[in-house]
């Protein structure tokens, strides 16, 4: 359960943090919503379950609601150049705008967050149609990223008012991928701002610090970064990264240069069978970061006593790590946007609660090879 630490409003009254039931969905703002949604369905195995646009009464934007397991993505594009979505894409490229939290009472969650110091983005409102209503409000976080508090308990439609039946075809042919839920979502912030945003999540939402990685733990010959993971002890895990001093430009600095602001760097999606999932995605054309063959010599030594399909892992480029609770397997895609910003992590957990610290060096060297190919290292 989430922490129950109390803060006080300006009148000195104690205010408990909002009660968050998990991540309801993540909304992307993109330049071509149909094409981006098509990428996620054809390459990553998502299925469109609802659509909103001019045909359903929404005049300023289109949104494709995609789902796989308990993972929901809304892919939204503008219908005119004056749209804030179009301006967001012009500045940042395709990216994540909203990490939406499911709550029982959106108005109460917003009031509690603001009383505890949140920066308000959108005042509480109710959207209704003949099938009921949804309650929502939003607060700001790093960059232009927001967190919406959403209560859909009184709505009986496919998702929300103005959403109708899907318009994209369901891809056929390749095997289902088998992604099940959000594992964690990582944000990048500027140098010197990590502690500020960790404190923001702790003060505003009552999150706690799960683990901190210093630049001595996440570094290569050329670059380094620092990372702190905040969580609500339940379904929401949000690592936050900042660059650290290095001989060359770090991956975080490259992200900030191209995204032009702090924002979501990668989304980790859980699967119970990573070998199957990665093979299915490779068959669908997904490209992953390369892992050198010699990585597996060290990995076998670190994983002594655990029976793993080493030939499959090496063939697919899946990395492995262990902690006191068990082990995990993980792999990272190349960036999925035109700008070198956002990417996916695919992760299988077998008891482990960590983030693959044993793989940090190999991972960041792989990222640096991609940076070097772009001329940005």
Q: What is residue 13's three-state secondary structure?
A: coil
Please report the pLDDT score of residue 4 as a whole number.
47
Please report the pLDDT score of residue 377 as a whole number.
60
Superfamily (CATH) of domain 7-151:
2,3-Dihydroxybiphenyl 1,2-Dioxygenase, domain 1 (3.10.180.10)
Please report the pLDDT score of residue 115 as a whole number.
95
Please report the pLDDT score of residue 8 as a whole number.
66
Please report the pLDDT score of residue 331 as a whole number.
96
- Cα diameter, the chain: 63
Q: Are 326 and 352 in contact (CB under 8 A)?
A: yes
- In this structure, what is the dihedral angle of CA atoms 185, 186, 187, 188, given to the nearest 10 degrees? -160
Please report the pLDDT score of residue 245 as a whole number.
74
Tell me if domain 7-151 and domain 181-374 are identical in fold. yes
Chain centre distance of CA 108: 25
Nearest to 237 by CA among 288, 196, 183: 183
Please report the pLDDT score of residue 221 as a whole number.
60
- How many angstroms separate the CA atoms of 135 and 127, rounded? 7
E strand or H helix that includes residue 360: helix 360-374
- How many angstroms separate the CA atoms of 350 and 359, rounded? 16
- What are the residue ranges spanned by the domains of the chain? 7-151, 181-374
Cα distance from N-terminal residue to C-terminal residue, the chain: 42
- How many angstroms separate the CA atoms of 338 and 318, rounded? 24
pLDDT tens digits in sequence order for the chain, 377 residues long: 344 455 766 666 789 999 999 999 999 999 999 999 999 999 999 999 999 999 999 999 999 999 999 999 999 999 999 999 999 999 999 999 999 999 999 999 999 999 999 999 999 999 999 999 999 999 999 999 999 999 999 999 989 999 999 999 887 767 799 999 999 999 999 999 999 999 999 999 999 999 988 755 555 665 577 899 999 998 899 999 998 876 567 788 999 999 999 999 999 999 999 999 999 999 999 999 988 888 898 889 889 999 999 999 999 999 999 999 999 999 999 999 999 999 999 999 999 998 777 666 666 666 667 777 788 76
Q: Are 130 and 157 in contact (CB under 8 A)?
A: no
The class that CATH gives domain 181-374 is alpha beta
Please report the pLDDT score of residue 3 as a whole number.
44
């Amino acid at each position: 359960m989430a922490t129950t630490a109390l803060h006080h409003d300006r009148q000195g009254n104690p205010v408990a943090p909002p009660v968050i039931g998990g991540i309801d969905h993540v909304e992307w703002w993109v330049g071509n919503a149909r094409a981006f949604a098509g990428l996620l369905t054809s390459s990553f195995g998502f299925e469109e379950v609802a659509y909103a646009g001019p045909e359903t009464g929404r005049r300023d934007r289109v949104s494709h609601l995609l789902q796989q397991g308990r993972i929901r993505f809304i892919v939204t594009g503008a219908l005119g150049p004056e749209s804030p979505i179009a301006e967001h894409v012009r500045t940042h490229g395709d990216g994540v705008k909203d990490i939406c939290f499911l709550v029982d009472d959106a108005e109460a969650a917003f009031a509690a967050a603001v009383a505890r110091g949140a920066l308000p983005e959108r005042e509480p409102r109710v959207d209704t149609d003949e099938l009921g209503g949804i309650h929502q409000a939003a607060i700001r976080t790093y960059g232009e990223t927001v967190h919406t508090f959403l209560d859909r308990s009184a709505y009986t439609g496919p998702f929300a008012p103005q959403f109708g039946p899907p318009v994209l075809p369901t891809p056929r042919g390749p095997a289902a991928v088998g992604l099940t839920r959000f594992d964690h979502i990582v944000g990048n912030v500027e140098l010197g701002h990590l502690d500020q945003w960790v404190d923001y999540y702790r003060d505003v939402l009552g999150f706690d610090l799960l683990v901190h990685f210093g630049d001595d733990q996440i570094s290569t010959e050329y670059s380094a970064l620092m990372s702190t993971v905040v969580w609500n002890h339940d379904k929401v895990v949000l690592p936050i990264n900042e660059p650290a001093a290095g001989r060359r430009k770090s991956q975080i600095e490259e992200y900030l240069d191209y995204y032009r602001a702090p924002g979501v760097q990668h989304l980790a999606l859980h699967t119970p069978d990573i070998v199957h999932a990665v093979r299915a995605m490779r068959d669908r054309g997904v490209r992953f970061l390369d892992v050198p063959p010699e990585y597996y010599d060290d990995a076998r030594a670190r994983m002594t006593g655990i029976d793993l399909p080493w030939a499959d892992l090496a063939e697919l480029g899946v990395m492995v790590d262990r902690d006191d609770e068990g082990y995990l397997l993980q792999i990272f895609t190349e960036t999925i946007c035109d700008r070198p910003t956002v990417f996916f992590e695919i992760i299988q957990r077998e008891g482990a609660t960590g983030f693959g610290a044993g793989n940090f060096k190999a991972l960041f060297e792989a990222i640096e090879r991609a940076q070097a190919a772009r001329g940005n290292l």
